[in-house]
Chain A
Amino acid sequence: MRNEPVVQIESLVKRYGTKTAVDGLDLTAGAGITAVLGPNGAGKTTTIETCEGYRKPDSGTVRVLGLDPVREAGALRPRIGVMLQSGGVYSGARADEMLRHVAKLHAHPLDVDALIERLGLGSCGRTTYRQLSGGQQQRLALALAWSAGPQLVFLDEPTAGLDPQARRATWDLVRDLRRDGVAVILTTHHMDEAEELADDVAIIDAGGSSPRAAPTRCAAAAPRTPCGSPAGRAWTSPRCSRRCPRSRPRRADPRRLPRQRHGRPAAAGHRHLLVRPARGDAGPDLGRTPHP
Chain B
Amino acid sequence: MSAAGTYTPKPGAAPLPRMIAAQAALETRMLLRNGEQLLLTVVIPTLLLVLFSVVDIIDTGEGKAVDFLAPGVLALAVMSTAFTGQAIATGFERRYGVLKRLGASPLPRWGLMAAKTLSVLVTEVLQVALLTAIALALGWSPHGNPFSVLLLLLLGTAAFSGLGLLMAGTLKAEVTLAAANLVFLLLLMGGGVIVPLDKFPGAVQSVLGLLPVSALSDGLRDVLRHGAGMPWADLGILAVWAVLGLGAAAKFFRWE
Contacts and interface: CB of A to CB of B under 8 A. Distances in A.
Contacts of A218: none
Contacts of A177: 7
Contacts, number: 120
For chain B, the bracket of interface size reads 35 or more
Interface string B91-129: 011001110110111111000000000000000000000
Which secondary structure characterizes the binding site on chain A?
Answer: loop
B11 A89 contact: no
A248 interface: no
Given A78-B11, A90-B26, A104 B104 contact: no
Contacts of A176: 1-2, 6-7
Interface string A168-189: 0000100011011110000000
B22 A180 contact: no
A259 interface: no
Which 8 pairs of residues, A with B, have the shortest CB-CB distance? A88-B101, A107-B12, A87-B97, A108-B10, A104-B22, A78-B13, A82-B104, A149-B10
Interface in A53-90: 53-54, 74, 77-80, 82, 84, 86-90
Nearest to B7: A180
B12 A108 contact: yes
Contacts of B1: 172, 176
Interface residues of A, number: 42
Contact of A97 (B6, B10, B26, B34): B26
A88 B100 contact: yes
Contacts of B105: 77, 102, 105
Interface string B1-30: 110111111111110001100110010011
A58 B6 CA distance: 39
Contacts of A118: 2, 6
Contact of B6 (A79, A108, A110, A151): A110
Nearest to B92: A91
B183 to A, nearest CB: 23
Interface of B: 1-2, 4-14, 18-19, 22-23, 26, 29-30, 33-34, 92-93, 96-98, 100-101, 103-108, 256
A211 B19 CA distance: 45
A6 B38 CA distance: 46
A222 interface: no
11 contacts: A88-B101, A89-B96, A90-B26, A90-B30, A91-B92, A97-B29, A104-B18, A105-B19, A148-B11, A150-B9, A172-B1
Nearest to B101: A88
A87 B92 CA distance: 11
Contacts of B256: 54
A292 to B, nearest CB: 23
Interface of A: 52-54, 74, 77-80, 82, 84, 86-93, 97, 101-102, 104-108, 110, 114, 118, 144, 146, 148-151, 172, 176-177, 179-182
Given A105-B105, A107-B14, A149-B9, A179 B4 contact: yes
A88 B19 contact: no
Given A77-B13, A105-B14, A176-B1, A146 B7 contact: yes
Given A92-B33, A114-B2, A87 B7 contact: no
A106 B12 CA distance: 6
A91 B19 CA distance: 20
Contacts of B18: 104
B123 to A, nearest CB: 15
Contact of B98 (A78, A87, A105): A87
Contact of B101 (A87, A91, A172): A87
Contacts of A79: 9, 11
Contacts of B101: 82, 84, 87-89, 144
Contacts of A88: 96-98, 100-101
B13 A105 contact: yes
A105 B93 contact: no
A179 B4 CA distance: 7
Contacts of B108: 74
A149 B8 contact: yes
Nearest to A73: B108
Contacts of A180: 4-9
A90 B108 CA distance: 18
A106 B14 contact: yes
A92 B23 CA distance: 14
Contacts of A91: 92, 96
